[in-house]
Amino acid sequence: MKAVLCHAYGPPESLRIEEVPSPAVGPGEVLIDVHSAALNFPDVLMIEGKYQSQPPFPFAPGGEVSGVIARLGEGVAALRVGQRVFAGIGVGGFAEQVTVAADRVRVMPARMSFDQAAGMSTTYGTSYHALKQRAKLLPGETLLVLGAAGGVGLAAVELGKAMGARVIAAASTAAKLAVAKQAGADELIDYSDGELKEKVKVLTAGKGADVIYDPVGGDLFDQCMRCINWQGRVLVVGFTGGYIPKVPINLILLKGCQVVGVFYGSFSARDPATNAKNFEEILDLFEQRKIDPVVGATFPMTSYADALRCLSERRAIGKVCLRIRP
Ligand SMILES: NC(=O)c1ccc[n+]([C@@H]2O[C@H](COP(=O)([O-])OP(=O)(O)OC[C@H]3O[C@@H](n4cnc5c(N)ncnc54)[C@H](OP(=O)(O)O)[C@@H]3O)[C@@H](O)[C@H]2O)c1
């Protein structure tokens, strides 16, 4: 089979497509013929050697895929060959076939496309866990989402709206905000001028947001700490803004607020039962047409570098997917 391999840390162009043996299917695993692999910001960080956990060389990037089950490992009874499925696999998705533990595989709803399904595992898994278990978001609360047209951000906008929150989407361009509006955002903030705090205060009668979902970090995080409502929750999701900010702990005291870490990979490994329940609810929201995953761009497998650059150059809208099988 073909795979896009990283042999040394470097830019997207340093990867190459190679012929490698198909993975062996162990007990309790399934082999998936990959149709689409969705990209996430960690793929960009991983090939540059900047992610928090690094696989050994050579590795194929790609943390999540959709496709068709080609073979079942010993003891797998709940799935069958030929089913259309999606799975979060962490790494290895830029390949024609992957193996994954059967309990991490989810069956695709009939009307979901392979590209939509490829991008479900990480973004919706992360954002639902963040809003439900970590922020305990309540109907009627105000949710501010930064990077609101990116992968996890746009999922947070849709899920926050479906959970009954008033959603303020914040992003860096009018085009990105238009997509967030289409996904259900009630209010929009363009922070391309570096201003966030005052704009949030204006939209919340001076109180600030009850929950802030922050996948960006950097300079904007400090402003988040200054526009969080009394007893609000600031969700620390990621640092695409380039650096990891410091928390002014006096503001935690003054606002009676919480700064809450979100680590979806660890949550899903430690508590697979709650994660599975979350996905039942997420797929139910899809069936009710309360969420509709946005795929902003698709690329053929050979254009893996262009796909990765979409994320690293801040151009991604919703999910970017690599079509492994056209
Ligand atoms: N904690 C967890 O469990 C977890 C799980 C999944 C992902 N994450 C993290 O969440 C973050 C977002 O991931 P994603 O896959 O959703 O990425 P994405 O689709 O590329 O979206 C990232 C967003 O960050 C904003 N951004 C600000 N400065 C940027 C820069 N210099 N370069 C690129 N984007 C920039 C962009 O929005 P604007 O242009 O509108 O600012 C962009 O839409 C990453 O840090 C990732 O590691 C965390």
- What does the pLDDT look like over 224-279, one tens digit per residue? 999 999 999 999 999 999 889 999 999 999 999 999 999 999 999 999 999 999 99
Backbone angles phi, psi at 196, to 5 degrees: -135, -50
Residue 239 CA to ligand 1 center (angstroms) comes to: 7
From 50, 91, 152, mutation site for ligand 1 pocket: most ligand atoms within 8 A of C-beta: 152
As a three-state string, the secondary structure of the chain is CEEEEECCCCCHHHCEEEECCCCCCCCCEEEEEEEEEECCHHHHHHHCCCCCCCCCCCECCCCEEEEEEEEECCCCCCCCCCCEEEEECCCCCCECEEEEEHHHEEECCCCCCHHHHHCHHHHHHHHHHHHHHHCCCCCCCEEEECCCCCHHHHHHHHHHHHCCCEEEEEECCHHHHHHHHHCCCCEEEECCCCCCHHHHHHHCCCCCEEEEEECCCHHHHHHHHHCEEEEEEEEECCCCCCCCCCCCHHHHHHHCCEEEECCHHHHHHHCHHHHHHHHHHHHHHHHCCCCCCCEEEEEEHHHHHHHHHHHHCCCCCEEEEEECCC
- Would the CB of 149 count as within 6 Å of ligand 1? yes
Nearest residue (CA) to ligand 1, atom 34 = 314
Burial class (CB in 10 A: 0-12, 13-18, 19+), 249: exposed
Report pLDDT digits (tens) over 134-191. 999 999 999 999 999 999 999 999 999 999 999 999 999 999 999 999 999 999 999 9
Residue 41 CA to ligand 1 center (angstroms) comes to: 6
Residue 105 CA to ligand 1 center (angstroms) comes to: 25
Nearest residue (CA) to ligand 1, atom 21 = 150
- Would the CB of 161 count as within 6 Å of ligand 1? no
Report pLDDT digits (tens) over 53-108. 899 999 999 999 999 999 999 999 999 999 999 999 999 999 999 999 999 999 99
- In the prediction, which pLDDT does 242 show? 83
% of the chain with per-residue pLDDT over 70: 100
Token reading at 17: 């497509």
Atom number of ligand 1 nearest to Cα 152: 16
Sketch out the chain's domains with CATH numbers.
Answer: 2-119+293-323 (3.90.180.10), 125-264 (3.40.50.720)
Residue 191 CA to ligand 1 center (angstroms) comes to: 15
The DSSP bridge partners found for residue 86 are: 66, 106
- In the prediction, which pLDDT does 116 show? 98
* Confidence band of 326 (pLDDT split at 50, 70, 90): confident
- Would the CB of 93 count as within 6 Å of ligand 1? no
Nearest residue (CA) to ligand 1, atom 16 = 151
In the predicted structure, residue 112 carries a pLDDT above the cut 90: yes
* Confidence band of 52 (pLDDT split at 50, 70, 90): confident
